Amino acid sequence: MTQRLQGKVAFITGAARGQGRAHAVSMAEEGADIIAVDICHDIDSNRYPLATPEDLTETERLVKERGRRILAQQADVRERAELRDVLQAGLADLGRLDIVVANAGIMPMTPAPADAQDFVDATDVDLIGVMNTVAVSHSHLVDHGSIILTGSTAGMITGATTHPSFGPGGAGYQWSKQVMQQYTEQMALHLAHRFIRVNCIHPTNCNTHLLHNKELYKVFRPDLEDPTREDAELTFPLFQAMPVPWVEPEDIANLAVFLASEESRYITGQQIRVDAGSLLKWAGGMPS
């Protein structure tokens, strides 16, 4: 291991599984200690199950297995006070803060007729949750620290999640990821005097529970009444220019480690895609 993050502490939301767990494990492998947060219970509008306390415990185990310290606690990114409490406990235990990864996200999907609450919940988690994470943490970051946000190519490709099959939740997901691009640039500008970098990673389909669930399978295979994962996987590669169905959480984590390290010391305000060419393929927008 290169230990590019030796002695650093990372605050990661949505850390119980998926991309968040990959960030925690990859950064621990590079020498960082971790403050890990996840809601660990379901949100009614979100039709696929969210992470569990057992998932968060597994992330904790994996980080400790790599010889690093971790404080792992449940908190809802929609509640700023909860995030503040966890971060304060982490600072008391681990002593400093160098890296913030605002990763927690959901995509509630229900075709019309659907409740506007789906839109509210998507934006509360995917946008307000990111802002809450940055709000409680930026003043605690050491100078030359790094803030990494999880966006999505869905925020860059017109119509990616605004098809009626996605319902208000899909619209909220895409709108949140669009606004996040401007938020990244504004925060990068206002923290630049402290050499704190703010960048946003935009994945394509990623091999996590947000992709692998029954509701999304129905979107990819509307011709079938009860599509299976195998049915949906036939269409997943259509979204990317490279002939792959998805990227792995570790692909996103590899970039995050770089953005958290001193190797990226002058990279800030950037929108960086890990998308296997999906934006290049669909630059003119997705078909309706």
Contact 148, 256 (CB under 8 A): yes
* Phi–psi pair at 279, nearest 5 degrees: -65, -35
Contact 146, 255 (CB under 8 A): no
Distance CA 235, CA 106 (A): 22
Strand ranges of the sheet holding 197-203, from the earlier edge strand across to the other edge: 70-74, 33-38, 9-13, 99-102, 146-150, 197-203, 271-274
Tokens of 209: 């529970």
Is 173 one of the catalytic residues?
A: yes
Tokens of 104: 């927690």
Distance CA 67, CA 135 (A): 30
Q: How far is CA 74 from its chain centroid?
A: 17
Q: How far is CA 124 from its chain centroid?
A: 14
Contact 250, 22 (CB under 8 A): yes
**From 48, 173, 183, 217, active-site residue:** 173
What positions carry a catalytic annotation?
Answer: 173
